Every structure is written in C-alpha cells, then in structure tokens.
Structure 1
Amino acid sequence: MAGDHRPDHSDARDLFYFNFDFPIGLSFIAIATSACLNVALRLGTPRTFRLDDSEAALLLSYDILQLSALLYLTGGVANPFAMLFLAPVMISAVSLPRKLTILLGLLMIAAATILTVEFLPLPWYEGVQLHFPLLYRTGVWTSLVLSAAFVGLYAARVSDEARLLSTALAATELVLEREQHLSALDGLAAAAAHELGTPLATIALVTKELQKSVPENAPALADDLALLAQEALRCREILRKLVSLGSEDTGGLLDQHSMETLIQEVVEPHRAFGVDVEVVKSGPPDEPAFMRNPAIVYGLGNLVENAVDFAHSKVRIEASWSRNLVVVVIEDDGPGFSQHILNRLGDPYVSGRSTIRRTKTEPGAGLGLGLFIAKTLLERSGATVTTANVPPPKTGAKVTIVWPRSALERNAAPADAWAGEEQTASPDAQQ
C-alpha cells in the first residue's frame, strides 16, 4: 500500500515491536529515577507512615515533572499519553486542600505550555517525520487545561460534599449515642431503685420498731435511731424519683417538665450575648407536660443559638399549644436566609460563607452541620421543621417546629410506688 512504511518481517526480531527511534537512554534515566524514589520511600518509611498535605503535593509535583520529561523526549503534547497530566490534578482535587490543587494545576499548565513549543519529534517509522502544526498543538493544550479544570473542580466538589456529609453524620451519631446513653442510665437507675426498695423498706421498718423499745435513759440512742429513720425516708424519696425514670407508664419527676421549663432551659444559656430574647406563650390552661428528651433540648438550643448569632438586636420565641398540636416559632431580626438556598437548608453541605445568611467568625462555622443536626434530632422526636424568612418590610429568619401533642405529652407520676415494696418487706421484717 502506498505510503505504508511499516518494517519488514526481519524487524520482528528487534527488541521493540515498532522499532521507533527515540532517546531511550534519557527516557530510561527518568523512569529509573522514579523507580529508585519509590523503592527508597518504601524502605525508608514505616508502613504506618502517612504523608501530610505538603509532602503529598510535592510527590504529585514530581510526577508532573517526570511526565513532562518523558513527553519532551517523545513528541510533547502531541503524544497521546499527554492525557496523563490529568491524573495528579484529579488526585489532588480529591484528597488535598484547594490551594495545593491550584498550585499543581498551574504547574501542569506551565509544563503543557512549554511542551507545546519545545519538544523532540514524536517517534515514528524510519524515514517518516510527523509534524503537527502549532494550531493542532494549541488545541491539545487547550483541551488539557479545560479538562484539568473541569475534572479538578468536579472531583473537589464531590469530595467536599462527601466529607461534609460524613462529618455531619458522625456528629449526629455522637449526639444520638449520648442520648441513648442517657436513656440507658435511666433504665439502670430505675432497676437499681427497684432492687434497693425491699431492703430499704426493711431498714425503715426495723428502725421504727427499735424506736418503740428505746429506754428512756438512752437519749443518744434515740437520736441516732431518729436520724436513721430520717435518712431512710430521704433515700425512699430519691428512689421514688429514680423508679419513675425507667417506666413508660409513669412520669418521672426528673424526666418531665412543662413548656415554660423547656423554653427556659433552652434560652437561658444564650441571654448573655447582647441580644434581647423574648419568650411568648399562648394556649389553653392545660399546658402540656413534656418528657425530657435531650434530643429536643439540643435541637431547640441549636436553633436558638443560630438565631442569637445572626440577630441584630432581638430574638422572639413563641410557644403555643392546642389540644392536638404544640408549636414553637423562633424568629430573629437579622438578614434572613438567602432565597436561592432556602429550600436546601438542613443539608449538611450547604456552605454558610456564601449562602447561609451571614458569615460567622468561629473556625469551621457556616458548614450547615448545626442546622442539619438540629433538624434531624427534632424530626426524630416527631416534629416537622420548616424554615422561612420574616415577611417584608421586616427582615430576619423564621424557624417553625410543630409536634403532635400526643408525641410529647406524658401523664403525671402515679401514686406512691412504695406501698407494695413496704408490704412485701413487712413479712420479712416480722420474721
């Protein structure tokens, strides 16, 4: 076929299949240098060693320079393997900070620019010299730059969102783990109270019998027995409260509070920050009594904290209830939520620096984690959480939390649970 310059069958005995002529010695030096570096790093560092960001960026920079040397010897950007320039940039975008990724991208662009105008000819068959015009090489350079920018930005975005979501879920799991730990402690306390009930009732009964038989000439003994009876009664009151913590049918005194105490517990830690916090309550006289839930306290506290952070001068908390619903509305007079992310609020990867209201000054602020955790915990308790802006002409953010009253309300503690314990203990004492 005319123009076909493939080698004849004798060339098959040569060391290289295509029998291309290129500076193999210099190429071998570049490859051998990388091989020696890899062996030295493997032998010179323990298996548990982990590179920091700057060290990883340095190694990726070396990869770009080594690839540049090989491409210079084999045709520059016209070499099909020039696409390997994208690999270090993509790895950096996924695992390294954005500043280092930008520096690596600039290094790659500089190397590709040099290889567009300075390079040795692309190896080809003997007697044939391929020449790619500058326009073609510029097109390849443009495709490399655009591909690196697109792949780098996309990989960095996906990596950041995955990292933030992982952090948010880890934080949520920690909060829920603490809540479960508190519930477990409640159960253990109730179990311990039931176990201690019988011996304590026996002690109280025996003390009462001994008080009846104290001689008149032993006032010190009478005082000691009176003190023992008083302390036994005190222990009974403490155990009465502990018993109520572990029962689903009883409302523990330590476990229950009204709407007023719930709001005060949430609001009090945030009153000393120069923002007026106004609390308004409305509803029928039968104010609901809530089972104390750490998830609810934390979720409401986080929303109030955000409102205080972003308010100019005032935060208004309105608590209302009816026979079927319990509603808490938290408003502030700050700048409000940005319209284009209002529907995405509560996602853990919504960045506050450009989207959520105004920038906080604390490190790590504005990641959306607090709102994500608060919303998750409140919805887990049965609430519906909605976010909106205060209607004009006023400004500010408004968060509304609505519970079915049946999901939160709990009956009052029943009568003395100790009567049965005393009746059980009495026969033992008489024996």
Structure 2
Amino acid sequence: MNSSASPSIPPSSKARFANASAGLKNLHQLIQLRWIAVVGQLLTIEATHYSLGMPLPLQEMLTIVGCMALFNLASLVRWRSGRSVHDVEIFLALLVDVAALTAQLYLSGGISNPFVFLYLLQIAVSAMLLRAGYMWFIVLVASSCVVLLAQHSQPLPLATNLHEGWASPYVLGLLVCFMLNAILVVVFITRISHNLRRRDARLAAVRQRAAEEEHIVRMGLLASGAAHELGTPLATMAVILGDWRRIPALAADPVLQEEIAEMQTQVQRCKAIVSGILLSAGETRGEDSSQTTVCKFLDTLVSDWRATRSIDTFVYDNRIQNDSPMVADTTLQQMVFNVLDNARDASPDWVALLAQRDDDALRIVVTDRGPGFSPEVLAQIGTPYQSTKGRPGGGLGLFLSMNVARTLGGSLVARNRPEGGAEVTITMALANIALQDGIQGTHGH
C-alpha cells in the first residue's frame, strides 16, 4: 500500500497551531527568566543589606519580590492551560517586569545602582518576542523609567569609586550586572530564537502544504473536465460494441466475440474510473447504479477485481450475517478497487479482504504482507503524494478513496500490522448506501 488516508488538518489550523506553540514556549522562557530575577533579587538584597551593611527598605523590596513570585505563579497557571498566547500578553508581562525593576531601583539608589543596566535585558527580550509597535513602546517605557530614576529615588550609600577597582562595591555590582546580562541574553535569546525558527519552519511547511493542495484542486478541475468529455465517447463506444456483438457475421466468429467482450469490459472499467474522478471532485454521474444487496455487491466486486488483476493468493472473507438491500454504483466499486490495487502493488503474492457488519456500519478491511507503511508516510496521514512507490503522482489512490468515503459519511484509516504488512479499513454507514423506498440514502443519482 502506498499511503494512508484520514481527515487532514487544514493549513490555516496548522498555522495557528505553529504560532500558538511558539507563543507558549516563549511565555515559558519569560517565566523561567522571572524566577531567576526573583532569586537574583533576594540574593542581591541579602548581600547588600547584610554582607555590605548598607541599609535597605527590606519590607518594601521583599514585598515587590513576593508580588513578582505571585505573578509568576499566575503566569505558570496560564501557561499550563495550553491556550494560545497573544502578543499583548507577552507585552503586558514585560511591562510588569519593567515596573518591578523600576520599583526596586527606586528603593535602592535609582541610576546610581549598577543593576540599572538590566533594562537592556528587558529591551532585548521585547525585540525578540514582540512586533515593532510593542517593542518600541517597551523601549519608551524603559527609557522614561531611567529618566525618572535620575531625579526621583531613595538614596543608596554606595560610592562609585571606580578608581578602587575590585575593592569598590559599585565596580563589583557593575561586573555582576554585566555578566548577568551577558549570560541571560545568550541563554534566553538563543532559546527564543530557536522557538521562533521552529515556528517559521512550521509556517513554511504549512505554506508548502497549501501550495500542494492548490495544485491538487487545479488537477481535480482538469480531471473533472476531462472526465465529463470522456463520458460521451465512452458511452458511444459501449453502444457500438453492443451492436457489434449482435451482427451475425461477427457473432459467428468466437475470437472476435471474445475480443469484443474484453473491449466491453475495459470500456466499463474506464467508465467506472471516470465516475470515481467525478465523485472525488464533488460530482457524480450516477451511471450503472443498481439495486442489490451488500453481500451481492461485495461478491461481484471481488469477482470483477479478480478477473482483471493477477495475484497469487487472494483471500475473501465475508462475515456479514444479516444482508440488507443497497444501491451500488461504480464509484463504490472503484473506491475499494483503489485500496486493493495498492495492497497488490505492495504484496503481489497475498492480499486479503474481510467484510463484516458492525451495528449500522459496513466495515471492509484490506490487508497485505508487504513492507507496511514507513514512519514518514504514517506521520503524514491523509495527505496526497505520500507514497512508497517512488513514482511521480503516487499516493493519490487512497487519497481519492478517502474523499469518496467522506462523501458517504464514512472513513478510511490505515495502520501497520504487528505481524507484518499493512491494513486499510473502510467504514461506511449503511444508512448512506441503503435502499430506502427505491431511493439511495445520501448517494443517489
């Protein structure tokens, strides 16, 4: 088998998922950065107040640290919810961080505090995470805070004494601030950049998928037009071949009769393919629809497939106990043929078809003893051009069969069997193919 089929995720949904995933990861990075800020502020307050003996308004500064911790816990709950994170949330979170840093600097010397340069970290993070408008607003707010701190702050008895080198507490504070900025910028900006690159890669894949699906739509339109054009000549050929079989001169020649019968079989097969193309494009010809039963339809389908395909061993197991009337046409037949053909391509020596009834649904299971689906194909379930055959255009058989199954309100799923080989299961609601007062449920003509 060359593909698996099940409902695929629309490109727009994938794009939203890519943005949501990147937003959640970036929010998580901010949460980690804020925890580092909380611990760093506690250590700095301890070192300044107790080790260096500089008096600080401990109650106010510890209250700010506590508020940051509570805000971070709320942010953690928000992150665990898994809902998408918008730019405005990141923007407000950064504003809270800027406000907390400003309050701490106000209580500890304003711009004379060497840790005033931590504003640059907030600006760098905003440049990575936010759109230009939000980013420049953060720059404006941070710059305004620095200007205000130059005029308004509680004094800190910390002499600059730059000439003292390592012996100056101010110089030590500057070095710590520089190293802290450098390390955090490298670590967190690298992580954020990685998240953004992964988001961009996902969005690029979504755009590529959308382009491929647009190509499929164009191909479907062309195929639909060609199918409409082929319908009339195929019908004409079917009539002519029928007339030929009744001409006495031709009827007396058994070789010609055999060739005419084979031509009629191939014409009917072409008509079935045309009907399948039209239904996959959202149309149906409704040709060769007939009243039958589920078991008769399956028996005829298996007989026709065996007659036109060569295979070493084909196992047909019909476990339907309660037969029911239905209306069958070539579209239903072609849907199953596509699955059987893929199974035979993967496993030319053995293919099996199991049919059974599960409550009000018909389930057809096709298995083979081939190599099974590759992990790459299973990871792209329901997408066209996912094939193990390695030829251009491969992978469309089950993709079209999936569309037919969807039209009938059913499904088509695939998996690898533990004992080897692959398995494709077609499920259809019997109500959608049942005969109801002489009219087919949802698949009439």
TM-score, normalised with respect to structure 2: 0.35
Larger helix fraction of residues: 2
**Which fold has the larger relative contact order, with Cα–Cα distance below 8 Å and residues 6 or more apart in sequence?**
2
Larger Cα-atom Rg: 1
